[in-house]
Structure 1
Amino acid sequence: MVRIIGFFVGLGFVTMLLVAFFTDAKNAIQNPSVETAEEQFHLKPEPMKLASDGPLGKFDRAQLQRGFQVYKEVCAACHSLKYVSFYQLSDLGYSEAEVKAIANQWAIEVPTVNPDTGEAATRKALVSDRFPSPYANETAARAANNNALPPDLSLITEARDGGANYVHSLLTGYRDPKTYRNEKGEALPAANQPGTGLHFNPWFANLNIAMPAPLVSDGQVTFADGTKPTVEQMSRDVAAFLVWTAEPNLEARHRTGWTVMIFLLIATILAYMAYRNIWANAKREVSIRGPLEPAFRERMDEQKADRGIAG
């Protein structure tokens, strides 16, 4: 009886699954899903080559300094670097005196409290300080940016799919929505045209971004090393700098990884040589165990003789 009930329960379950499958299949055929504008016009980050790429990658200090200059003069007014301290700039090749000067001359002062009055105040940044946020809090940040919150850039290349490629593509990807055409030659639908305070960028997830194009023309920043400051160059340099802010120990990690790999390779070779040296000439001997063992047969014969058992 239990088996019969179980059979009908299982049959009912399978029937329901088949009905659901064929119903969904019918709906998919009759009402195929319509591709959204985001799917039609969103572009994947364009690949670019940085010195830090790959297992042998190392930072280009000159490029990092240029990228920091772009951040300082263009990005710092809206975006924070809350996980980066001024003293870390020495890793970019700045001297101790230069780092102190950068911290002291930073346009945004560090929030503090007046010890005499207990009221909120600000002071010049110290080398030990982290980069101060341009806004007092999230509310102030949204109020200054049409209710959009500028993201912190410390880990942006780790937080966004595409990393540095995403940053570079986004910075150089602003287009005119009225004249833009995708790969199929399709125009952006009127419903997806950017609204008030928004800007069209096909490399942004939903196409319309609150941030206006930060790099608008060549020569916007003057590089100290004489590199021509094109929009392409500035976007590459600041993307490389943000790779460093997200992973300042990248070079040490690469060195450690290669050291471990070489150690494991040498250890494997030594272990194999030791194995060959110890066991190469060893011969496997198969000894007889059980009733056929000569010593066992001899003891059995002695016991039979003592007990007067024949055979």
Structure 2
Amino acid sequence: MIRIIAILVGLGFAAVALISFSVGAYTYATEEPISHLPYEEPMDIDYSFDGPLGTWDIAQLQRGYKVYKEVCSACHSMKFVAFRDLADLGYSEAQVKAEAATWQVPGIDPNTGEATSRAGEPTDYFPSPYPNAVAAAAANNNAIPPDLSLMTKAREDGTNYVASLLQGYQAPSPEVLAEHPDIAPGPGLYHNVYFHNLNLAMAPPLMNPGQVTYDDGTEATIPQMSQDVAAFLTWTAEPTLVKRKQTGWPVLIFLLFATVLAYMSKKQIWSAVKPKKHKD
């Protein structure tokens, strides 16, 4: 009886899986594409952390942090990153403490109990530039700027996407407008060839070369600033990226060695056992 019930349950699961697969395949085959808009795929940019042997370019991450602080933080929060995490970018404990103090974070007045602001501490997280979502929407054409902590993980090919998006602002070409007249940016919108809808509410954040002055003397061109902040946001989204790669190689070597050792042990253990001969 139990065996019959188990068979029926298995058949039920198989039937549900088959129906789900059929419905999904039919939907995929019959639904129209989400967009016919002529957006461009992100540029393919080389970063130091690409590939199985990639490493962080600490100087680039520091430059990217400066771009975030002086440009992006005016609208975008980074609520999953603490000031103390900046120690991973090569800053000393004293530098992290001093850097945290340059930010204002929400606090409570101990005398009155009212909300106030205070200088940041290493244990604090990067503050939001707006008190709430309503204020954020009101200041940005009813579009709430997304948190950037995990942005490069939330988008396909996220690092290249962010760097490309920051460089993709331009007026739509007459040819594209003639073919797609509905993509002309409306009030409060800006045309960007790397954005899937082609028009977004974020104004071009990087407008002038030299908008940020780098401490290491690197020329702050728009492509340079875009790539630097994209690299920094890759670190905020996955700070253990390089460590994971570095850990993976010893693990793979160990597994390879263990596999060879297991094979040799098997040969040694069973070497004295002769296969039986079958009589015809």
TM value normalised by structure 1:
0.76
Deviation at 1:181, TM superposition (A): 4.5
**Equivalent residues in 2 for 1:201-212, closer than 5 Å:** 201-212=192-203
SS in 2 for 1:133: coil
Identity of paired residues, percent? 54
Q: How does 1:234-253 map to 2 (within 5 A)?
A: 234-253=225-244
Could you tell me which of 63, 66, 85 is aligned with 2:63? 66
Output the CA distance in 1 between the equivalents of 2:139 and 2:226: 24
CA contact (8 A) 2:37 2:197 kept: no
Bigger-Rg structure (1/2)? 1
> Which of 203, 208, 213 in structure 1 is aligned with 2:204?
213
Amino acid at match of 1:92: L
Mapping of 1:154-303 within 5 angstroms? Answer: 154-177=149-172, 179=173, 181=175, 187=178, 189-286=180-277
* Total equivalences in the alignment: 250
User: CA separation of 1:161/1:213 partners in 2, compared to 1, >3 Å: closer, same or farther?
Assistant: same
- Residue number in structure 1 paired with 2:19: none
Change (3 A) 1:162 1:93: same
Alignment partners' CA distance in 2, 1:94 and 1:188:
52
Provide the C-alpha distance between the structure 2 equivalents of 1:270 and 1:80, rounded to a whole number of angstroms.
51
Q: What TM-score does the superposition give when structure 2 sets the normalisation length? A: 0.84
Q: 2:148 aligns with which of 153, 156, 177?
A: 153
Shift of 1:180: 5.4
Measured at CA, do residues 201 and 188 of structure 1 come closer, stay the same or move farther in structure 2, by a change above 3 Å? farther
* C-alpha separation in 1, matches of 2:256 and 2:200: 50
1:199-256 C-alpha deviation (Å, 9 max, x unpaired): 0012112111101111112111111111111111110110000100000011221122
In the superposition, relative to structure 1, how do residues 224 and 120 fare at CA in structure 2: closer, same or farther (>3 Å)? same
Alignment-derived partner of residue 45 in structure 1 = 42
Q: Which runs of 5+ in 1 are unaligned?
A: 1-20, 22-27, 289-311
Q: Is the 8 A contact 2:37 2:196 kept in 1?
A: no
Any runs of at least 4 consecutive aligned residues in structure 1 with deviations exceeding 6 A, and if so which? none
Q: Residue 41 of structure 1 aligns to a residue in which SS? A: coil
Superposed displacement of residue 191, structure 1 = 2.5
What amino acid is the match of 1:204? F
3-state DSSP of counterpart to 1:65: helix
Q: Which shifted more, 73-82 or 253-262?
A: 253-262
Q: Could you say if the C-alpha distance between residues 181 and 160 of structure 1 is closer, same or farther in structure 2, counting changes exceeding 3 Å? A: farther
User: For 2:260 and 2:183, how far apart are their aligned partners in 1?
Assistant: 62
Alignment partner of 2:82 out of 85, 100, 117: 85
Write the letter of the residue equivalent to 1:160.
Answer: R
* 2:138 pairs with 1:112: no
Matched, 1:138 2:133: yes
Q: Structure 2 unaligned runs (5+)?
A: 1-25
1:262 Cα deviation after fit: 1.1
